[in-house]
Amino acid sequence: MVIILYLSVAVIAIAFAALVYFLAETLRSVQRTMNSMVNTLDHVEQQMQGITMETAELLHKTNQLSEDVQHKSAHLNRFFEGIEGVGDSIKNVNQSVQRVANKVTLKGEQHSDQVAKAIQYGQAAINLWSKWKNKNTQTSSTNQ
């Protein structure tokens, strides 16, 4: 019976040694995994620092670009206001010309009879002058 007791203790000792061995292997594996995670996190942290710096530079450049666009937009607003003033001036000139044309047309319609008489008198005067000139040239050519 003592042998069974020694044999039982030996089996328990071997089982405990195997348990400790496999537990140690598991802990080493966990330690390697943790070391790998630490390295990976260090690498990610370095990359994040680089990304943070690039993001800050990009944000700075974006702010400068935004200010430049706002500055140029303000200048363009002045330009378009000037063009709007020119357009208003042209519109006013066109309206003035239209009013003058309307007045001329109205006065022309009101005085069309007088204009027709003036044209007839003008044609009659031209005809008389032409006849007088022809007569003078004929008399001068016969006198010579």
**Residue pLDDT, tens place only, 2-29:** 899 999 999 999 999 999 999 999 999 9
Cα 138 to Cα 117: distance, rounded to the nearest angstrom: 31
Cα 4 to Cα 61: distance, rounded to the nearest angstrom: 84
pLDDT digits (tens, 9 = 90+) for 57-70: 999 999 999 999 99
Mean pLDDT of 30-52: 94
Percent of all residues in the chain with a pLDDT value above 70, rounded to a whole number: 94
Q: Between these two residues, 42 and 1, which has the higher pLDDT value?
A: 42
Residue 96: predicted pLDDT? 86
Mean pLDDT of 82-95: 82
Q: Helix crossing, 2-110 with 112-143: angle to 10°?
A: 60
Residue 33 has pLDDT above 90, yes or no: yes
- Whether the Cβ atoms of residue 115 and residue 108 lie closer than 8 Å to each other: yes
18: amino acid identity, one letter: A
Using a 10 angstrom Cβ sphere, with 0-12 exposed, 13-18 middle and 19 or more buried, the burial of residue 40 is: exposed
Range of lowest pLDDT (23-27, 128-132, 135-139): 135-139
Residue 45: predicted pLDDT? 93
At 1 the three-state DSSP class reads coil
pTM of structure: 0.42
Per-position DSSP letters for 72-132, written without gaps between them: HHHHHHHHHHHHHHHHHHHHHHHHHHHHHHHHHHHHHHHTHHHHHHHHHHHHHHHHHHHHH
Residue 144 has pLDDT above 70, yes or no: no
Residue 141: predicted pLDDT? 64
Query: Alpha-carbon dihedral of residues 113, 118, 120, 121, nearest 10 degrees?
Result: 140
- 58: Cα separation from own chain's centroid: 20
Q: Between these two residues, 88 and 27, which has the higher pLDDT value?
A: 27
Mean pLDDT of 113-123: 79
